Amino acid sequence: MRERLLAAEKVTAIRWQGGVLHLLDQRLLPSEERWLACDNVAQVAEAIRDMAVRGASAIGIVAAYGLVLAVEERLAQGGDWEMDLEEDFLLLAEARPTAANLFWALNRMRERLQRLRADEDVLAALDAEAVAIHESDREANLTMAQHGIELIRRHQGNAQTLLTYGNAGALASGGFGTALGVIRAGYLEGMVERVYAGETRPWLQGSRLTAWELANEGIPVTLCADSALAHLMKTKGITWVVVGADCIAANGDMASKIGTYQLAVSAMHHGVRFMVVAPSSSIDFNLATGEDIPLEERAADELLDIGGTRVAPDVEVFNPVFDVTPADLIDVIVTERGIVERPDTAKLAQLLCRKRLH
């Protein structure tokens, strides 16, 4: 199965070549495929903040490469480069506050710095660590895809009709995707008949990115307005909602794209199973519940304007871009370390314990 999944990889959004980070600019898709070249940490932070790159896993990977560029800059400047580097850690950390993978990747890079031997090349060591973070995410995607399709097979068998929201595909990760990785694998195994994708306003990640990824791979996809999703569950025989996560608290509450919470409420009402697919690096045990997850709010223009044209009156705007889905609305969390059904603190702690043992 792994070989079939690898053969199906068609989209790459992150490339590290010759000490330059190349990012597929997701703000322009699907009308234009343009790559950004980042050769300093400020450009990387800007790409994360302005959503040229997005998706929790992808943000973490890109931040790791950003630290490599930062170290290169600091070493060239001389002085106390390690102290100066703290400014770069902070710059990247503040770019998107909700993505747990961002802080996980930065912490991993910091830990690698702390383990440096006196005879090691600093830049080479951090470059290798960033590449390892990237490659491990790709491997995690493949494992999660296999776990996810086993769940689907076990509960409903073939000819599934799935619903997804936001974009948790190859564009949002270092490889095959999280939620879309499961969907891709299910289609390859003949278990997925059709996928419904919500637009995901206001950035339209569902229509611009998810529909684009699925259509490019020949997977039957139907786009629908976000306000039609409950109606779809009632009328179209949806069997699973499959989504990604930007952060998972210790008790299993999870933050994802705004609108996911109401989707989970509708799924429970209609008896549709709700699957969250995310790497274990998205779990933050420093956050006891979803109430502790910092939820990013963005500029008013994202709601007042469409394509740069003002479509609403000049009124007060509330624009949170994430919401929290309580654990009791989640049927299963799929990670590369295993599956957690009906998640709670004890089950997630056991999962992370298994991770440490590995």
The reply, when asked if residue 146 is annotated as ligand binding, is no
The reply, when asked if residue 205 is annotated as ligand binding, is yes
246 is catalytic: yes
CA separation, residue 249 to residues 107, 246, 275 (Å):
17, 10, 16
CA angle 294, 350, 59 (to 5 degrees): 35
With tokens 């390892």, the residue in question is 132
The reply, when asked if residue 157 is annotated as ligand binding, is no
The reply, when asked if residue 356 is annotated as ligand binding, is no
Of residues 16, 126, 108, 30, the one with CA closest to residue 71: 126
Measured CA to CA, the distance from residue 219 to residue 188 in angstroms comes to 9
Residue 165 and residue 200 in contact, taking contact as beta carbons nearer than 8 Å: yes
Three-class SS of residue 318?
A: coil
Bridge partner list, 283 = 248
The reply, when asked if residue 55 is annotated as ligand binding, is yes
Measured CA to CA, the distance from residue 299 to residue 321 in angstroms comes to 10
Burial of residue 68 (number of CB atoms within 10 Å: 0-12, 13-18, 19+): buried
Peptide bond into 30 cis (omega under 30): yes
From the candidates 88, 246, 253, 284, which is the catalytic residue? Answer: 246
The reply, when asked if residue 256 is annotated as ligand binding, is yes
Binding positions are: 54-56, 96, 205, 256-257
Binding positions for substrate are: 54-56, 96, 205, 256-257
Active-site annotation, residues: 246
